[in-house]
Chain A
Amino acid sequence: MNPLDAPRPATAPTALAPAALAKTPLRADLQLIADMVAPGSRVLDIGCGEGALLEYLARERSVAARGMELSQKNVNASVARGLSVIQGDADSDLVEYPAGAFDYAILSLTLQATRNPREVVEQMVRIGRHAIVSFPNFGHWRVRLQLLLKGRMPVTEALSEPWYETPNIHLCTVRDFIALCGDCGIEIEEALVLNGRAHRASLNTPHLANLFGEKAIFRLRKD
């Protein structure tokens, strides 16, 4: 595994003041996703939250950036900042888009909260020439250790809420996700894992990526 990047802060504040957004560096995982996107391309960011990635792609990479977000509050705030965002649900609303509508369909740290992750990923590779998916890795050693030693549901930096409050209903490991892509006939173009530093995961040794990655980012395509 080769270090890809200098260490970045593992997390940024989740609530960003609108004025501060443009200047605040992107959260590390979002920056890695942004670096996978070709300048000037068409992007749909599914579950775009407050629009940090969208704003960065639109302003810094001249991307035709569009967003879909479940929370109406986040949508209104994003549109008020000049971003193109609609209220919508990844589980039900991706079917509306025509095939190949975007160069990239992005889903960051949201897959585990969808009702039907397999269908969502398949829709993403249909509407996007590429799909970029990131998720918290349930195979990380800290997660495994907490469950093994304490016998309690793991609470980590990437999975910060207790079991009774978490929106994450479909957690998976890096190897689970690789298996899903195989089942769906989806090609993995690039895979990264993060643990404070970003590493390019070797798919020849997925068990190492699975053990040491807190979050994983996959770039996918399906012809």
Chain B
Amino acid sequence: MQTPRMAADPALKAGLSMEFGRDAPLMLDCGVALGPFTLAYQAYGELNAEKSNAILVCHALTGDQFMASRHPVTGKEGWWSQIVGPGLPLDTRRYFVICVNVLGGCMGSTGPKSINPATGEPWALDFPVITVADMVRAQKLLIDHLGIDKLFCVIGGSMGGMQVLEWAARYPEKVFAAVPIATAARHTAQNIAFHEVGRQAIMADLDWCGGRYIAEGRNPDRGLAVARMTAHITYLSEPALHRKFGRRLQDRNSLTFGFEADFQVESYLRHQGAAFVQRFDANSYLYITRAMDYFDLAQEHGGKLANAFRETPVRFCVVSFTSDWLFPTSENRDIVHALNAVAADVSFVEIESDAGHDAFLLDEPEFRDTLAGFIAGCAEHRGLNG
């Protein structure tokens, strides 16, 4: 293990990072031993003397560690700046809140755009396929390094929720409370299908160059943008799209009888795609979507999800949103059923919202109140008052 280091990567310059696996490489699910590798992370608030107030936030597919600070590439507010901060549900005056860029990511943690020490070139498709469990094993190294014996809470939405479930199943003695949000214990066929469309869009872009676009000085912008546009639709809902755009036209009074962005919704999606390629690596998108596709917690535990949580001491709060059709309430309820089957301490809240899957990133008062109440209740049980 090395001391924190600074590097040329803007994400690394903007935040914290740590190198692992130089002495003992990380054994990945695919059988490859990875090391050394870097984990980039952000921390907010202060770790108390007992190191008992740490909250780990796990980010979603295209999220990153800059959850409550200005993004070093886009300059935008953090994706959870309404949840993490002083006086907010994850109150940084009381808790030490950290978020780690996932292994395979592109914001400072080692991923396919990092340099492969064996070749001196970017890994590209030589990077080993990683899983959600690999992401969690890597995070565990950082948590151990920080001297945190037990996380007060692990929390995250979507793919972040998958990591939360993996944490609770793999390290139950290291987690006091777990909040999986808008997630599932396995990626469904429909969700795998959407991911495949995104990956095919990237790989069909000639600028992808079989994954070696960095070495070739190119970037599959068009393919990655289309992948983002498709995915973005799945994060919203028909009512939300209707409310935002309806059939309204973009900067024009009539149809053009052509293929420009006549409709506001088209213009919006094109903008989402164009903005995304500025901050995200196409190969990372392939690897991380694959990790989600491979996630099946029941299969990891003899085909029965309840087995993943047998005798668990972890306090759970499962949250879903009514209009989320990507990770619908039924998928979240399956987690609750499995937890009930082992008589685990579980709360389950379904929040009314028309915002679709993205609702967990928005300022939904009922969601905020749920988080705040659950965290406060857990703090009382953990003796973290004051």
Contacts and interface: CB of A to CB of B under 8 A. Distances in A.
A72 B370 CA distance: 12
A84 B315 contact: yes
B348 A75 contact: yes
Given A87-B350, A93-B340, A97-B341, A82 B376 contact: yes
B349 interface: yes
Interface string B58-81: 000000000000000000000000
B345 A81 contact: no
Interface string A72-104: 100110011111111110000100111001100
Contacts of B343: 97-98, 101-102
B336 A76 contact: no
A84 B347 contact: yes
B370 A96 contact: no
A96 B373 contact: no
Contacts of A76: 349-351, 366, 369-370
Interface centre among A86, A87, A88, A101, by most chain B C-beta atoms within 10 angstroms, is A86
B347 A96 contact: no
A86 B377 contact: no
Nearest to A86: B348
Nearest to B368: A80
A102 to B, nearest CB: 7
Interface string B349-386: 11110000000000000100110111011101000000
B385 to A, nearest CB: 12
- The A contact surface, by secondary structure, is mixed
Contact of B350 (A64, A72, A84): A72
B370 A64 contact: no
Contacts of B154: none
Contact of B342 (A66, A85, A86, A98): A98
A82 B350 contact: no
Contact of A96 (B337, B369, B378, B380): B337
B346 interface: yes
A118 to B, nearest CB: 22
B90 interface: no
Contacts of A87: 348-350
A83 B336 CA distance: 16
Given A79-B349, A86-B336, A98 B374 contact: no
Contacts of B347: 75, 79, 83-86
A69 B351 CA distance: 15
Given A76-B366, A93-B340, A82 B348 contact: no
Interface in B320-350: 336-337, 340-343, 345-350
A64 B346 CA distance: 12
B132 interface: no
B380 A82 contact: yes
A96 B341 contact: yes
Contacts of A88: 348
A86 B341 contact: no
B348 A83 contact: no
Contact of A97 (B340, B366, B370, B377): B340
B138 interface: no
Interface centre among A82, A83, A97, by most chain B C-beta atoms within 10 angstroms, is A82
Contacts of A79: 317, 347, 349, 370, 373-374
A86 B373 contact: no
A75 B349 contact: yes
A29 to B, nearest CB: 25
Given A96-B340, A97-B340, A80 B346 contact: no
A76 to B, nearest CB: 5
Contacts of B345: 64, 66, 84
A83 B377 contact: yes
Interface string A34-59: 00000000000000000000000000
A83 B349 CA distance: 12
A72 B347 CA distance: 12
A76 B377 CA distance: 14
A80 B370 CA distance: 4
Contact of A80 (B337, B342, B372): B372
Nearest to B375: A82
A106 B375 CA distance: 26
B369 A86 contact: no
26 contacts: A64-B345, A66-B345, A72-B349, A72-B352, A75-B349, A76-B370, A79-B317, A79-B374, A80-B366, A80-B372, A81-B373, A81-B377, A82-B374, A82-B376, A82-B377, A82-B378, A82-B380, A84-B345, A84-B346, A84-B347, A86-B336, A96-B341, A97-B343, A98-B341, A98-B343, A101-B343
Given A75-B349, A76-B351, A81-B373, 5 more contacts: A66-B346, A79-B317, A79-B347, A80-B372, A82-B373
Interface of B: 315, 317, 336-337, 340-343, 345-352, 366, 369-370, 372-374, 376-378, 380
